[in-house]
Amino acid sequence: MEFLIFGHGYSAGFLTPQLIAKGWHVTGTTRGDTARVAATGATSLLWPGQEDDLRRAIARADGILVSAAPDLQTGDPVLAAFRNDLAQATPRWLGYLSTTGVYGDRAGGWVDEDSVLDGSGPRGQARIRAEGDWRSLADKAGLPLHVFRLAGIYGPGRGPFEKIRNGTARRIIKPGQVFSRIHAEDIAQVLLASINAPAPGTAYNLCDDDPAPPQDVIAYAAELLDLPVPPAVDFDDADMTPMARSFYRDSKRVSNQRIKRDLGVTLRYPDYRSGLQSILKAGG
């Protein structure tokens, strides 16, 4: 069984070993870090660079996962480069990793997979267009597309501990602000559950049970380290990059009931507390 991952990054690194354990051969694209891809057990292909090899990989793939983000101007890079090849492909499962940013700002209210897509800002709108482009191709070519809308990703190597230890962490306070999150291991188990029980055309929210203010997460991480809680900084006064500030544009709570009901998923880390405890215990 052949599995192809476009954009073999952080999340794919948790899925690949599980696929290999199930008997899959995994190929992942990278811009240049072939050693990182190989460390997960996958075969790496350079993209851009090895387009002909990629076309052959598409043709023989039983499963395809697209983890590459859309370009704000030119759209989804995988479709731009390989639309015709994908239209001729015959995978039994195709997954596209989107984000919960497609829902936009709900002033702290709840959204589920049937909520109107109202992404704010250029990145949210680009994701909505990319989802639509993938659905259009899937409808025309009969591809078994599944869309996964990911909340904020964290896990080993992607937690707040380093910034707290070196004294650069801050608790940015914006009243009413809440974010949903998902541990990378839970991303992998949801994807594997979908691969084992395909439901083409379905969208899934990937997030934990506990949407929370970002300052609470920082404070809890400091407590786990037995270090002083970082100072509070008002959002309006915070020195932040435009990208970091844009994340605070949206405030919403994301429902994960579909992955539990339809895929039978029990989250390993249902809240940020259990997730951070695990990272620290593992030496994160």
Distance, C-alpha 96 to centroid of its chain? 10
Alpha-helical (H) ranges within 22-145 are 34-39, 51-60, 77-87, 121-141
In a domain, 227, yes or no: no
In a domain, 89, yes or no: yes
Residue span of the structural domain in which 118 resides: 2-155+182-209+255-269
Question: pTM score > 0.85 for this model?
Answer: yes
| Domain total in the chain | 1
CATH number at residue 264: 3.40.50.720
Could you report the per-residue pLDDT of 90-117, keeping only the tens digit for each?
A: 999 999 999 999 999 999 999 999 999 9
Answer whether residue 284 shows pLDDT above 70: no
Answer whether residue 27 shows pLDDT above 80: yes
The pLDDT assigned to 283 comes to 81
How far apart CA 105 and CA 240 sit, in angstroms, is 20
Place of tokens 């993938």: 134
The pLDDT assigned to 121 comes to 87
Cβ neighbours of 98 (radius 10 Å): 24
Distance, C-alpha 106 to centroid of its chain? 20
The model's confidence at residue 57, banded by pLDDT at 50, 70 and 90, is very high
How far apart CA 159 and CA 1 sit, in angstroms, is 34
How far apart CA 85 and CA 124 sit, in angstroms, is 27
Rounded to the nearest integer, the mean pLDDT of the chain is: 97
Could you report the per-residue pLDDT of 74-92, keeping only the tens digit for each?
A: 999 999 999 999 999 999 9
Answer whether residue 159 shows pLDDT above 90: no
How far apart CA 66 and CA 127 sit, in angstroms, is 13
In a domain, 160, yes or no: no
In a domain, 35, yes or no: yes
Could you report the per-residue pLDDT of 208-228, keeping only the tens digit for each?
A: 999 999 999 999 999 999 999
